[in-house]
Structure 1
Amino acid sequence: MSSSNDNSLYEGCKAYQSSVSTSYGYIPSEAAGIAFCVLFGLSMMVHVIQFCWKRTWWCSLFSIGCMVEVLGWAARLWAAICPYNSTAFMIQISTLIIAPTFYTAGIYVLLGRFIQLFGPASSMLTPKRYLWIFCTCDVVSLVIQAAGGGLASSESDEVNGDTSLGTNIMVAGIVFQLASISIFVICAVDFFRRSVRLGYRQALVNGPLSYLVGAMVFSVVCIYIRSIYRTIELAQGWSGYLITHQTYFIVLDGVMMVLAVAVFNIFHPGWLLPTDMAFALPKGQVTVEMDDAEAQRLHSSTEYAGYGHR
Structure 2
Amino acid sequence: MSTQDDIGIGCAAYRADITTSYGYVPSKGAGIAFCVLFGVSMVAHIVQFSLKRTWWASVFAVGCATELLGWAARTWSSDCPYNSTAFLMQISTLIIAPTFFTAGIYVILGRLIQHFGRESSILSPKLYLWIFCTCDVISLVIQAAGGGLASAETDSTPGTHTMVAGIVFQLASLTAFVLCAVDFLRRATRLGLLKLMARGPLAMLLGAMVLSTVVIYIRSVYRTVELAQGWHGYLITHESYFVGLDGVLMVIAVGVFNICHPGWLLPAGGDGQRHGASVEVKMLNDPEAR
- TM-score grouping bracket, smaller chain normalisation: over 0.9
Equivalent in the alignment of 2:109: 111
Give TM-score scaled by structure 1 length.
0.87
What is the Cα deviation at residue 216 of structure 1? 0.4
In the alignment of these two chains, the number of paired residues is 282
Structure 1, 272-281 or 33-42: larger mean CA deviation: 272-281
Contact 2:4 2:19 in 1 (8 A): no
CA distance in 2 between counterparts of 1:111 and 1:201 reads 14
1:10-52 Cα distance to aligned partner (Å, 9 max, x none): 0111111110000000000000110000000000000000001
% same residue: 65
User: Which of 131, 134, 138 is matched with 1:133 structurally?
Assistant: 131
User: In the TM superposition, what are the counterparts of 1:137-148 in structure 2 within 5 Å?
Assistant: 137-148=135-146
Q: Match of 2:20?
A: 22
Contact 1:54/1:270, CA 8 A, preserved across alignment:
yes
Deviating more after overlay: 276-285 vs 255-264 = 276-285
The answer as to 2:31 corresponding to 1:33 is yes
Deviations 1:125-170 (A, max 9, x none): 1111111000000000000111111111223xxxxx2111111111
Kept after mapping to 1: 8 A contact 2:21/2:82: yes
Residue of structure 2 in register with 1:305 after alignment: none
User: 2:120 maps to which residue?
Assistant: 122
In 2: Cα distance, 1:285 partner to 1:251 partner: 43
Alpha carbons of structure 1 residues 49 and 6: separation in structure 2 relative to 1, 3 Å? closer
Map 1:213-252 → 2, pairs under 5 A: 213-252=206-245
Alignment of 1:277-296 (within 5 A): 277=273, 278-279=276-277, 280-282=279-281, 284-285=283-284
Counterparts of 1:196 and 1:55 in 2: how far apart (Å)?
31
Q: Do the aligned residues in 2 keep the contact of 1:200 with 1:281 (CA within 8 Å)?
A: no
CA-to-partner distance for each residue in 1:56-115, whole Å, 9 max, x for gaps?
A: 111100000000000000000110010000000000000000000000001000100000
Cα pair 1:199 1:281 within 8 Å, conserved:
no
Q: Which amino acid aligns with 2:136?
A: D
CA RMSD of aligned residues (A): 1.7
Distance in 1 separating the partners of 2:211 and 2:186:
18
Q: Say if 2:192 and 2:285, in contact at 8 Å, map to a contact too.
A: no
Query: Do 2:4 and 2:18's aligned partners in 1 also have CA atoms closer than 8 Å?
Result: no
Q: Distance in 2 between matches of 1:10 and 1:59?
A: 38
Distance 2:283 2:104 in 1: 35
- Structure 1 gaps of 5+ residues are 156-160, 289-308
1:199 CA displacement: 2.1
Task: Indicate the residue corresponding to 2:94 in structure 1.
Answer: 96
Distance 2:281 2:168 in 1: 42
Gaps of 5+ in 2: none
Question: In the TM superposition, what is the alpha-carbon distance from 1:5 to its structure 2 partner?
Answer: 4.8
